[in-house]
Amino acid sequence: MTVARSPYAPIIIGADIGNATTSVARPDGTAAFFPSVITTMGVRAYDGLRNVAGTTRHHISYQGRHAVIGADAFEMHGYDTILNEAAEPHVRYLDEASLLCFLAGVSAAFPDAETVGVRLATGAPLSLYEAWGAEIAKRYQGTHDYCYNGSPRRVIVGEVRVYGEGREALRLLPAAQRAGNVAVHDLGGKTWNVLLFKDGALRAARTFDMGSERLLDEVPAVSKDAAARWALQADLRRNPKAHPAIRAELERVISAALDQIERKVALPKADRHALLGGGAAHLPAVLRRRYGAPVVTLNGDAPEGANALAYALAASEAT
């Protein structure tokens, strides 16, 4: 099956390639999701079954190199998240690891497609997207030839729009809930983007270096290992009674972070709080106790896909 034979029949794709998770969405919903974890150590050419429906195996061969991306990488040596601590913040949005996550996401979303033409909507933290948006767009535009789980694939990226993380989130709220003062919290792996809207108009926005990985670093009982953290956060989301001591300490850390955030963004003025991002599940209890205002988690039980979906919706409305 070929989804698009040329860049002249592109599909709108929203991609949120985060430090912790990767989400790919079409305007009608999330199409692919996996942890932004990668390994190349000992990875050779793919030798398994091809075109397996619903597989979590994301093996990419690109420009002579082989990588495994997503949850299956946890089972191999040398895995880690794509978070880059050794370079300037914008570099991570331009490097090969992020591109490979994008290619894996598109292939997972369209598992039978040999060629996909894409109009891409993606994002970067509020502190980066305006200054580096053009460079990010340039990185993804063009034709990308690679193999996915042993099958030749081609992604042709035409137009690229780069949005600020959380800026388009109000699209996922019912119209009645967009009125008044709405605080948006986009809690990713490295950053916590906080925005305050009044009747849909942006009044304040700031990126804080306090994403879920940073917050978990402040809880001594939490392992530094990426696989252990992935399992822990899954437990915390699945069972509200799991790991009570860790949960209590994490909520204390979040409260301390809010003390700092309130110096820049007037969160006590918010009539409601809208949450998205992979760390959104850690916030509702703290926000309700602190502000006594309604808290809404965007995109239901999959807030990590909310940005990608919002980007896709924004791009579809821009046509």
3-state secondary structure 37-91: EEECCCCCCCCCCCCCCCCCCEEEEECCEEEEECHHHHHCCCCEECCCCCCCHHH
* Mean pLDDT score, 113-138: 96
Within-domain flag for 5: no
Percentage with pLDDT > 70 across the chain: 97
- Residue 16 shares a structural domain with residue 161: yes
* Mean pLDDT score, 72-86: 94
| Helix pair 96-109, 129-140: axis angle to 10 deg | 60
pLDDT band at 219; cut points 50, 70, 90: very high
- Residue 43 shares a structural domain with residue 146: yes
This prediction's pTM: 0.94
Candidate from 19-28, 49-58, 111-120, 122-131 with smallest mean pLDDT: 49-58
Within-domain flag for 1: no
Number of domains in the chain: 2
- Residue 272 shares a structural domain with residue 252: yes
DSSP-based three-state secondary structure for 273: strand
Q: Which residue carries 């690679």 as its tokens?
A: 146
pLDDT band at 260; cut points 50, 70, 90: very high
Residue 108 vs residues 116, 120, 134, 141, 158: alpha-carbon distances, Å = 12, 16, 26, 19, 20
Q: At 188, which helix (H) or strand (E)?
A: none
* Mean pLDDT score, 286-301: 97
Whether 8 shows a pLDDT value over 60: the answer reads: no
Mean pLDDT of the chain: 94
Within-domain flag for 3: no
* Mean pLDDT score, 238-252: 96
Q: What's the confidence (pLDDT) of residue 5?
A: 45
**CB count in 10 Å sphere of residue 138:** 11
Strands 21-26 and 29-35: antiparallel
- Residue 158 shares a structural domain with residue 54: yes
pLDDT, tens digit, for every residue of 180-214?
999 999 999 999 999 999 999 999 999 999 999 99
Whether 129 shows a pLDDT value over 80: the answer reads: yes
**Which residues are CB-contacts of 1 (< 8 A; sequence separation ≥ 6)?**
112, 113, 114
222: left (phi over 0), alpha (psi -120 to 50) or beta: beta
- Residue 312 shares a structural domain with residue 229: no
Whether 1 shows a pLDDT value over 50: the answer reads: no
Residue 229's domain spans which residues? 175-298
Cα separation, 107 vs 301, in Å, equals 23
Within-domain flag for 2: no
Within-domain flag for 79: yes
- Residue 122 shares a structural domain with residue 197: no
Query: Residue 223 is encoded by which pair of tokens?
Result: 């392992």
Q: What's the confidence (pLDDT) of residue 52?
A: 83
pLDDT band at 51; cut points 50, 70, 90: confident
CA 49 to chain centre: 28
Whether 3 shows a pLDDT value over 70: the answer reads: no
Whether 4 shows a pLDDT value over 70: the answer reads: no
Q: Which residue carries 């002249």 as its tokens?
A: 8
Residue 307 vs residues 16, 139, 224: alpha-carbon distances, Å = 6, 20, 26
Cα separation, 186 vs 167, in Å, equals 9
**Which residues are CB-contacts of 264 (< 8 A; sequence separation ≥ 6)?**
194, 204, 206, 208
pLDDT: is 147 or 3 the higher one?
Answer: 147
* Mean pLDDT score, 140-150: 97
- Residue 115 shares a structural domain with residue 215: no
Q: What's the confidence (pLDDT) of residue 319?
A: 65
- Residue 192 shares a structural domain with residue 156: no
- Residue 204 shares a structural domain with residue 234: yes
Cα separation, 293 vs 274, in Å, equals 11
- Residue 275 shares a structural domain with residue 183: yes
Q: What's the confidence (pLDDT) of residue 30?
A: 81
Q: Is the Cβ–Cβ distance between 118 and 155 less than 8 Å?
A: yes
Q: Is the Cβ–Cβ distance between 271 and 182 less than 8 Å?
A: yes
Q: What's the confidence (pLDDT) of residue 318?
A: 84
pLDDT, tens digit, for every residue of 222-240?
999 999 999 999 999 999 9
DSSP-based three-state secondary structure for 159: strand
Q: What's the confidence (pLDDT) of residue 269?
A: 97
Within-domain flag for 260: yes
Cα separation, 291 vs 286, in Å, equals 9
Q: At 169, which helix (H) or strand (E)?
A: none
Among the listed residues 248, 257, 304, the one whose alpha carbon sits nearest the alpha carbon of residue 278:
304
At 196, which amino acid appears?
A: L
Q: What is the CATH number of the domain that holds 51?
A: 3.30.420.40
Within-domain flag for 6: no
